[in-house]
């Protein structure tokens, strides 16, 4: 695990107790991407034996947040990253340990230019959730903003 993966994972697990409760593990974080997973646990299951939709949502949102922090973490002194909207599409039944891979869909320069211009930039992060065999079980898009800090 890279130092950035460890730092971002620790930051998220320290500031988002629910992600820690689920046992989310951050595998890699950097350059607008993040990969994390949630182990299979009976206490997180739904009525069909896979992880509950809330677990999938939290895993995907956590991966998207890590991807955002990998690009904009140095901006925390002047802006707070916040999700504004999210959509999730359930494609197949999720079973076993679930892996999330998140990717920013914008460039850092574009977002920072809008922030520098006094705007509150919004941008998307996409996430694929997969079963242990690599089957995509859900796709997720979260729109994030960088809210300027109030002084």
In 3D space, the residue among 60, 69, 99 whose CA is nearest the CA of residue 6 turns out to be 69
Residues in the chain: 151
**Domain boundaries, given as residue ranges, for the chain:** 3-148
Among residues 24, 57, 21, which one has the least CA distance to residue 39?
24
CATH no. of 3-148: 3.10.129.10
Q: How confident is the model at residue 94 (pLDDT cuts 50, 70, 90)?
A: very high
The answer to whether 90 and 53 have CB atoms below 8 angstroms apart is yes
pTM above the 0.85 mark? yes
Whether the pLDDT of residue 5 is over 60: the answer is no
Determine which of 17-21, 29-33, 94-98 has the lowest per-residue pLDDT on average.
Answer: 17-21
Residue 145 pLDDT exceeds 70: yes
Strand partners, 66: none
Q: Residue 1 — pLDDT band, cuts 50, 70, 90? A: low
67-77 per-position pLDDT tens digit? 999 999 999 99
State the Cα–Cα distance between residues 134 and 92, nearest whole angstrom.
Answer: 12
For 105-119, the pLDDT digits (tens) are 999 999 999 999 999
Report the mean per-residue pLDDT for the chain: 93
Contact criterion met (CB below 8 Å) for 98 and 56: yes
């Amino acid at each position: 695990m890279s130092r950035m993966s460890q730092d971002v994972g620790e930051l998220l697990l320290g500031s988002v107790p629910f992600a820690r409760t689920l046992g989310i593990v951050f595998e890699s974080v950097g350059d607008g991407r993040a990969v994390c997973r949630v182990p299979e646990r009976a206490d997180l299951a739904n009525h069909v034996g896979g992880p509950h939709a809330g677990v999938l949502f939290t895993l995907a949102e956590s991966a998207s947040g890590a991807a955002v922090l990998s690009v904009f973490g140095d901006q925390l002194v002047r802006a707070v990253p916040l999700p504004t909207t999210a959509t999730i599409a359930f494609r197949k039944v999720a079973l076993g340990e679930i892996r999330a891979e998140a990717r920013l869909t914008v460039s850092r320069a574009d977002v920072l230019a809008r922030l520098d211009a006094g705007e509150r930039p919004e941008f998307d992060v996409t996430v694929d959730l997969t079963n242990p065999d690599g089957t995509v079980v859900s796709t997720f898009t979260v729109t994030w903003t960088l809210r300027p800090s109030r002084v």
